[in-house]
Amino acid sequence: MLEPLYRHRRYILKSALADLRHRYAGTSLGFVWNVLQPLALILVFSLVFSRIVPVRSAGTASKGVSFLLYLCAGYLPWLGFADCLMRCLNALPDNAAYLKKLPIPEQVFVAKAALSSFLSMMLSLLLLPALLLVFDQPIGGAILAAVPAAVLLIGFGFGLGLLFGTLNVFFRDINHLMAVILQLWMWCSPIVYTIEVVPERYRYLFWFNPVHPYLLAIREALLEGRVAAATTWLAMLGWAAAAILLGLLVLSRLRHEIRDVL
């Protein structure tokens, strides 16, 4: 099931790059919009939470990291994940023109959507080293550990995208349902609040939230300059592998009818 991804690797890469370049084609700022949009959101959030509704963030204050950095390191990967999931979810209907005419396996288009999300997520994550420099924070080699963590996060999104994207072909409600779920999911994850605001005895619940280990690892790499614990990596790997396997399983069971329905 993964062999077609290798066979069509050049198409996946080229079209994802083209996607990134042309998403804002015809605009004068072009490429910069990839970064400006998340930046604007983050500015609004940091204003709201640091001035208007101050969040009790003892944890971050004690580590001497401003709330803005904390927010960026969590919110940008989350946006990337949500973007990846939604794009993968719609990859099959969006590429119906190809699917109905060419015998190219479905997962190629889902992978293309995931890669395209990954690229724009990495671009927006470049904001962080820039912010670290601006705020005179230390930058260490461990920051690079954010890259494999981001790859695994996108892998998890790709898996869920395969699973729900396949089902979405048959039940278009899933698309809208997922948009709602993503909203709730975000507030169930420590992104705009820190884990410390949650009472100690409930914190274990976060380990049932699949995106938590990814956010944790990325944040630790970017803000604290250390590589996440082995258990965190194991959890990331586990969730991603499980999602991809389940997605491929569902796709292989339903693929023979997908193009009849599109």
Partner 1 sequence: MSAALDGVPEPVIAVEKLGKCFRLFEPPSRRAAAWLSGGRLGRPREVWALRDVSFAVTQGECLGIIGVNGSGKSTLLKLLTGVLEESSGRVRVKGRLLALLELGTGFNPELTGRQNIMLSTQLLGFPDGYAEARMGEIEAFCDIGPFFDRPMKIYSSGMSTRLAFATFLFLDPDILVVDEALAVGDMFFQRKCLAAMAEILKRGTTILLVSHDMAAIGNLCSRVILLEGGEIAYMGKPEDAISRYFARSGPPGGGAHPSSGAASDIGASAGVASALRRHSILATRTHLGPQGLHIMAARVLDRLGHHSLRVRAGDRFAIQLLISADAPVPEPEIELEFRDRFNRLVCGLSLSALGHALPPLLAGEGRVVSFRLNAALEPGEYSFTLAAYDRAGAHKRDGWRCHDSHAGLGPLHIAWDRELLPFYGIAALDCAAALDAAPKAE
**By the criterion CB under 8 A, which residues form the site for partner 1?**
7-8, 10-11, 14-15, 18, 22, 25, 97-104, 170-172, 256-257, 259-260
Residue 60 or 107 with smaller CB distance to partner 1: 107
Residue 23 or 233 with smaller CB distance to partner 1: 23
Q: Token pair for residue 243?
A: 């999602």
Place of tokens 């069971």: 253
> In the complex, what is the shortest distance from the CB of residue 156 to partner 1, in angstroms, rounded to a whole number?
25
Q: What are phi and psi of 59, to 5 degrees?
A: -60, -50
Residue 66 or 259 with smaller CB distance to partner 1: 259
d(CA 136, CA 133): 5
> In the complex, what is the shortest distance from the CB of residue 122 to partner 1, in angstroms, rounded to a whole number?
22
Place of tokens 């190809």: 98
> In the complex, what is the shortest distance from the CB of residue 18 to partner 1, in angstroms, rounded to a whole number?
6
Nearest 5 degrees, angle CA 94-CA 103-CA 159? 55
3-state secondary structure of 15: helix
3-state secondary structure of 101: coil
> In the complex, what is the shortest distance from the CB of residue 172 to partner 1, in angstroms, rounded to a whole number?
8
Residue 51 or 101 with smaller CB distance to partner 1: 101
Residues, the chain: 262
> In the complex, what is the shortest distance from the CB of residue 257 to partner 1, in angstroms, rounded to a whole number?
7
Residue 24 or 233 with smaller CB distance to partner 1: 24
d(CA 138, CA 38): 23
